[in-house]
Every structure is written in structure tokens, then in C-alpha cells.
A and B are shown apart, each in its own frame.
Chain A
Amino acid sequence: MKNNGLTGLRLCRDCDLLVKIPSFENSPGWKQQAVCPRCGYCLEQHQPSSVLISLALVVTGLLLFLPANMLPVLSMEIMGNVRQSTVMVGALALHDEGLIVVAWLVIATAIVIPLLRLLILFYVLLAVITASMHRTAARMFRWYTHLGEWGMMEIYVLSVLISIIKLADMANVNIGYGLYCFVALMLVELIISIYLNPHALWNQLGKNHES
């Protein structure tokens, strides 16, 4: 490995300080952090996470994706008229009213980007397990981080809860099975973001094509 004596060194992302960090190998504590002494940015976290468990989480997420988006999230009744809504139906209503870009924004942030991130992670973890396709996996893994803040499932869930309360005085509002799946999918994504150790994954992706 061409390392130029850079082992144990980190550059701070937020202030460009060159910091020597300790090896975590001897410290058993989970979630121990090495923090930038100047700006407090977390340089590295000690987080032994297993690739197989991560993969299991990703597969769970992918399985939840279809029911979360096909089943109705909310249903509402006024004088015997029942209407059900999925995430897509809401976005398409905006589309029909001419707010096309806004509709696409909703579809992207609540549906497409969360799915894309799961698929990317699936591919990257497979690449790490099979020790192949590392170059493509590395290209894709970059997008995983870039897309992070644009996936907004948790915000969507909050908006559903607010809508329920807002509509409650107008009509009978019921929660659909889609919402339970959607919340479960959101929780899986949350657990993945806490459990995953991107540093370790990057190291494994980098190892092979350097040697």
C-alpha cells in the first residue's frame, strides 16, 4: 500500500487541520470518537459493524419499500366518500395542479432517493463481501453520502402526523398499512445510518485496487 507515512493521520473536513488520531484497536468501547481539537469535528468513530448485519438491514429496507409505497398511507372519509392516498398520489395531485417541479421534488426526496441509497448500499456491501467490482462500488458509494440529506423520510412521517391532526375536524381520517411500513422503512434507514461505518467500508473498497 502506498501510504507515505500517513497512517493514523486525518485531515479535518471542516478546518483542514492535520491531526494524528489514536488507534482504536485497544479500546473496546463502542462509539468512541476522535474529535478535531480545533473545531470539534468528529474525525473518526470506533464502530465495529459487520458487513453481513448491514446487508441484512438493507435487504429488510428493500423488502419494506414496495408495501410502504403501494399501500395507502392515509384514508379519509366525508359523508360516505372514502379517499385513500399513497405518497405517490399526493405528489401526483401537485403535478395535476401545475406544480410539476414541486411534485418531482416530493417524489425524489420521499421515494426515489431513499430507494436509491438502499440500492447503492446493497451493491457496495455485495462488492465488499465478494471482493470484486470495487471501482464501480467506490463510484457509487460517493453518491450514497451525497444523497444523504436529500432523503427525507422522517420529515415525511412528521408531515403525515400533522396532516392527520389538521384533517381531523374536517373528516374521519384513518391511518393505512402503508404508513406502518413507511415508518418501519424510515427506522431501518435510521438504524443503518447509525450502524454503518463508512470509514471501514471505504478502507475495504480502497484495499483491493491498490494492491
Chain B
Amino acid sequence: MNLEYSRGIDKGLILCLDCQKICQDNEQTCPRCSSKLGRRKANSLSRSWALTLAAMILYIPANVLHIMTVSKLGDGKPETIMSGIMTLINQNMLTIAGLVFVASILVPLLKLLILFWLLLNVQLRRLASDNQIKMYRLIIWIGRWSMLDIFIISLLAGLVQYGHLGTVTAGPAAYAFASVVVLTMWAAKSFDPRLLWDVSALENNKPSIKEPDYG
């Protein structure tokens, strides 16, 4: 039996992405969990492109506009994400500054670049490599952590309400930033990593395969 080294799509089999059941490709819905079946995720490419580009555009106001205003004794000081980090550095809170920098600036940027690169790879029919699938898994895993700043703002805004003694209010960049987080998570979810490998199946009918590793 030489079933091991072929793709499901060539054998008329579809994986149910919700419950991992192997279904026949003449079935419309999964017999076990009744979710919709498709050979690949529906409109994966156009959907991820649209979401990624929208997130890229919103990344700009997220970083340029004010994310919150901290006022002490009456005078308010609007902060952007970056100036908030600079304040932390000036107060010598380097660890937190680093954490916020990674979660709020680096991770969203990295996600956008990786999504863009993955989509470009599929579009240009570049062969799948280990790097691509590793990058895909990386953005799926780290994407959610960008919510950190939104949670911090909600906590500060809820706590620091002392009238003229001190208040924290959220700014418009919070909208843009939350949208970037949601859109990139959605884009990564819409992207179908199997498209990367489909390209390699076209170029080379026999993908090089090692013995399965059960370790």
C-alpha cells in the first residue's frame, strides 16, 4: 500500500478542519460534526490578503495616534504607544518597557510582514520550505499576545479615576490597535498552509519524505 506518501486531495479525501475526521470529497458536510467541508479553506488567499492589507493600513494610526492620556494634577499628557514605552524607559522600568515593546510594536509588525511574505510565496508559487511553515506556526502562536496593551489600558482607565488628582483615558489609537490585533488573527486563521505545499506538489510530484518520526 502506497497510501502514505500522497495528498488527501489526490485520493478524494477531505479533512474536516473542526473534528479532524477524514471524509470523502463527495460529502458536503462532515458526518461527525456537521461542519462544512472543502478541499481547501474557502477563498483563503483573497480573504487573507484583504485582512492583511487592512491591518497594515490600520497599523499606522495605531502607532501615530494617542493610545491613552495620563493626567496628573490637571495637566494631561497624551501618549502614543512608542512614547508610552519611552516613559517606561525613563522611569527605569526596562523589563516592562521591553515586554510592551515586543507585544505592541514588534509582534504586530512581525505578523504583518510574515503574513505578507507567506501570501507572496503562495502567489509567486515558491516552493514550501521548513521556514515558511515555522513562520506560520509562530504567528498563530504569538498573535494573541498583542492584546496585552489593550488590557493594560482597560485596567488603568478603570482604576485611575481620581478627578483632578489623576485620570487615565483611552485614546483613538486603541481602536486602531485592537482592530490590527483582531484582523491579523483572523487573517492568519483564514490562511491555508496547505496552499504552500500544493505549490511544491505541482513542481515536484514526489516530495522528498523521510521515514515518519514517532518519537
Name A's B-contacting residues (CB within 8 A): 4, 6, 9-22, 32-35, 37-40, 73-74, 76, 78-79, 81, 83, 85, 89-94, 97, 99, 101-103, 105-106, 109-110, 135, 138-139, 141-142, 145-146, 149-150, 152, 155-156, 158-160, 162-163, 165-167, 169-171, 199, 202, 205-206, 210
Interface pair A155/B151, CB less than 8 Å apart: yes
The 7 A-B residue pairs whose C-beta atoms are closest, nearest first, are: A90-B158, A159-B151, A90-B154, A11-B15, A93-B157, A93-B158, A15-B197
> Are A202 and B151 in contact, with the CB atoms below 8 A?
no
Contact present for B21 and A105 (CB under 8 Å):
no
Specify which chain A residues have a CB less than 8 angstroms from the CB of B136 in the assembled complex. 14
CA gap between A145 and B143 in the complex, in Å: 17
Contact: A78 with B151, CB < 8 Å? no
Q: Cβ of B182: which chain A residues have Cβ within 8 Å of it?
A: 105
Which residues B157-172 have CB closer than 8 A to chain A? 157-162, 165-166, 169-170
> Is B148 in contact with A202, judged by CB distance below 8 angstroms?
no
Beyond A38-B209, A171-B166, 18 extra complex contacts between A and B, CB < 8 Å = A9-B3, A10-B20, A17-B7, A17-B8, A17-B197, A32-B215, A34-B214, A37-B211, A83-B159, A85-B158, A90-B159, A93-B158, A94-B174, A102-B175, A149-B144, A152-B147, A155-B147, A162-B152
B114 at the A interface (CB under 8 A): no
For B172, give the chain A residue with the smallest CB separation: A99
| Nearest CB in chain A: distance from B58 CB, A | 13
6 contacts between A and B (CB under 8 A): A13-B17, A35-B215, A90-B159, A94-B153, A156-B151, A166-B88
